[in-house]
Amino acid sequence: MSSLSLRIVRNQKLFFRASASYLDRVIERCARMRPYFRKHPALIVLDGLLNAVVEKDPDVSLRKFVRYNAPIVLRCFMRKRK
């Protein structure tokens, strides 16, 4: 937990800012869920969102998601629809 930095704002709410290395570790833990992607396509979307947060470039992240993950998600939804 040393990679998290905490700060208190005026209204005394506690916020944290996670470092990129911490977020990378979280994503790697989520990568263990990849065998379940076909059963639960929402996990694919979650994985894409986590990667977008780390990359901090929404355009590139969206392009990567559409290129690599969107076809898988669409196939899963089409199978469930039949």
17-29 tens-digit pLDDT:
667 777 777 777 7
Per-residue model confidence as pLDDT tens digits over 38-79: 788 888 888 888 888 888 888 998 999 999 888 888 888 888
Q: How many residues does the chain have?
A: 82
DSSP annotation of 34 reads G
Q: How far apart are CA 36 and CA 23, in angstroms?
A: 21
State which H helix or E strand residue 15 sits in: strand 14-18
- Residue boundaries of the structural domains of the chain: 4-81
pTM of the shown model: 0.61
